[in-house]
Chain A
């Protein structure tokens, strides 16, 4: 297995020749032909899990029990939160790929330096999937009576101790194509995600599985990326009653201006591995 795809010297030689020749990628009239929005529309919908999902595991709390496990109640793993009535799937991030310039509505550009709060209490991150735009500041807060450290595996990487009540600012440098993990080392079961993007076309489903993204560009081929931490394959996805397997979670869609497109997305429970 470790000898998979050993390099081919001939092919590498050809690549080397291309590098030396500085063969630029075909430019073409790509920029002028790029699609332009004909208006703005809204996408909203619900993401629901169909079938019996795996039971969430109980997390072993091995530190600061008075704060992290008040009353001794078992703490359940929050990597797969499904609404018991209706099956709505929470904490799914839906974001538009590759939109820039004129295809971004002014309401989807956040004010530079504006703050997004990210709090932690009872040894849990209060926002499981947080979203932020590059240029904004993430205000990391510790509302517990004990110290935590917040480790963000993003760009730049961040790992700092926070005293009780302390707030620290974090500024993402670049947008990412998938959320970065956020953890606490002192309480290793704590886990959350941070998704820095370059525009506001991001939504995270609420506990009922509902989401809404406003003012998306209409009339052009949109690519909506779905992301959930426990979901790896999107082969059995059903959208508005029709089977529509998504390659790597990308949903191609085109919307009309001044209209609201509704997506009822159903994911089979078999797509989630046991947790």
Chain B
């Protein structure tokens, strides 16, 4: 096990060295986006490079096609429903038509024909000859192809999203073309000031913001596995799944722009993510834009990898980047792209709609607001109210209701957060980013260690359990405002085991069997916020089984 950690840390340190050289402006090769090989393995691809050499039975029509002319593609399309690309050096299938023989047999665009009926095919003319002239009409022919979907995905991503140095072009000396990213609503100026190597202009304007402030933890591709990541607990966020924990929106929706700005400005208490309030606001805005860009790129990559791993065809370049521009109407709504192949537009759509999914609760009463702010009830003369006063009794009653909810079945907090709220109720689960590890739970230990080593060799960080929050510590990663805690309880924490709660419609009578009212949630928030100030009389008992399962 240790050798594998060493190997991955050596790899990370080497990456860090390249990064450092890049930051210092030394002649290091430009950083590249690392492909998401962990996803390929998780999706079940036997070969994580998604390369294969399938052989299919291609049915031939009963007689030779009639279409003549110089371009054999007309005849090929008529006979098989496929076209070969112009590259005379290789027999590359440029496109296949759905429901025609080539597509039905399982051939896909991008496949390179390597042999037909056992004889090897070296170039396009040979393929044309075998398909049109030497075919035995009416009998299927065996076509073997070289399918490099992993390489195609990398090329597609480069075509749409550019490089870490240049989001708007495919290579350092390529022609810049920001129109595609602009059509998806990205601000190219912000992306360009965040991307690229670190330097500043004479005016003081800083460039390379992402590499300067973020990449050492979050990685060049936003994979949360930068050079310092292995030494942090918790690990930095992997943006590539499009999942964010601490946001104002419902469930699995994307965070709003304001949510990401808040994380940058306030940091995440209890983690290594610092506050970047010291940066000017325009630099923080540029970084938020770049994080969104990395997340859209990452989610696109994952969707492409999942399709390839399942043996489905990946979208053509035009299909992948189609479906735009996503222009909001008067109310700020965007039309959802209907074509499943418009993957980038589909992902960007979820980001644009985030503002419509904000959790905006009914505000608590004035009295409750005071309690949540830590203000104790006072008499008219300003002295603290006695324990018998109605105001103090109401405050204690709210705390008692909150405590009852904590241990009740509607919220059921104690089962994971523990009988003493120390976060020790259920510590054997994994969050979304380590689902690949959870799926190994049922394997014998030796097999499990082997698979973990394989994942780590592909760039995964050593897996850890997800621990529920210790509510007595008073550290709230998503923010300590009552509204923040309300949102965690109301809609759960996306990507983690923390569930949403069933909420009764406004004005409904309390019914613990069906859910909770908004006021009851505020009572629970009140109770949670009071916990750091409550004495813990004696340590709770741990179940032996929990200790056995915990990973350090």
Asked if B410 is at the interface (CB within 8 A of a chain A CB), the reply is yes
Contacts of A28 in B (CB 8 A): 77, 81, 97, 100
Contact present for B170 and A5 (CB under 8 Å): no
Given A8-B151, A9-B171, A63-B415, do A2 and B34 touch, yes or no (CB 8 Å)? Answer: yes
- With contacts A19-B317, A161-B499, A177-B312 known, is A11 near B155, CB below 8 A? yes
Report if B310 contacts A (CB, 8 A). Answer: yes
**Smallest Cβ distance from B490 to chain A, in angstroms?**
11
Q: Does B157 contact A (CB under 8 A)?
A: yes
Do residues A273 and B412 form an inter-chain contact, with CB atoms below 8 A? no
B447 contacts A by Cβ under 8 Å: yes
CB closest residue in chain A, given B97: A28
Consensus secondary structure, chain B interface: loop
Q: Are A163 and B410 touching (Cβ within 8 A)?
A: yes
**Do the beta carbons of B545 and A60 come within 8 Å of each other?**
yes
* Complex: chain A residue closest to B159, CB-CB: A15
How far, in Å, is A232 (CB) from chain B's closest CB? Answer: 6
Whether A30 and B442, one on each chain, are in contact in the complex, defined by CB atoms closer than 8 angstroms, is: no
Q: Are B154 and A77 in contact (CB under 8 A)?
A: no
- Cβ of B517 within 8 Å of any chain A Cβ, yes or no, is no
**Size of interface on A: residues with Cβ below 8 Å to B:** 71
Chain A neighbourhood of B438, CB < 8 A? 188
A160→B502 contact, CB < 8 A:
yes
Chain A CB within 8 A of B291 CB: no
The chain A residue with its CB closest to the CB of B73 is: A26
B residues contacting the other copy or chain, number (CB 8 A)? 90
CA distance A1 to B251 in the complex (A): 36
A9 close to B170 (CB less than 8 A): yes
Contact with B along A172-208 (1 / 0, CB 8 A): 0000011001000110110000000000000000000
Q: Does A250 contact B (CB under 8 A)?
A: yes
Binds B, one of A85-93, A149-157, A210-218, A236-244: A149-157
Given the complex, which residues of A lie within 8 Å of B316, measured CB to CB? 18, 23, 25
Given contacts A5-B49, A9-B171, A161-B410, contact A185 B498 (CB under 8 A): yes
Q: Of the candidates A4, A26, A60, which one forms a contact with B35 in the assembled complex, judged by CB atoms under 8 Å apart?
A: A4
Contact of A19 among B46, B98, B159, B457 (CB under 8 A): B159
Q: Can you pick out 22 interface pairs between chain A and chain B where the beta carbons lie within 8 Å of each other?
A: A2-B11, A2-B37, A13-B171, A16-B170, A20-B177, A25-B109, A25-B319, A26-B95, A60-B548, A147-B410, A147-B412, A150-B499, A159-B497, A163-B412, A168-B502, A177-B310, A178-B310, A185-B498, A186-B412, A186-B497, A221-B104, A248-B310
| 7 A-B pairs with the lowest CB-CB distances in the bound complex, closest first | A185-B497, A15-B159, A157-B252, A149-B499, A12-B158, A147-B412, A9-B171
Other A-B contacts than A188-B441, A247-B106, 5 sampled, CB-CB below 8 A, are A9-B171, A13-B170, A26-B95, A163-B410, A177-B310
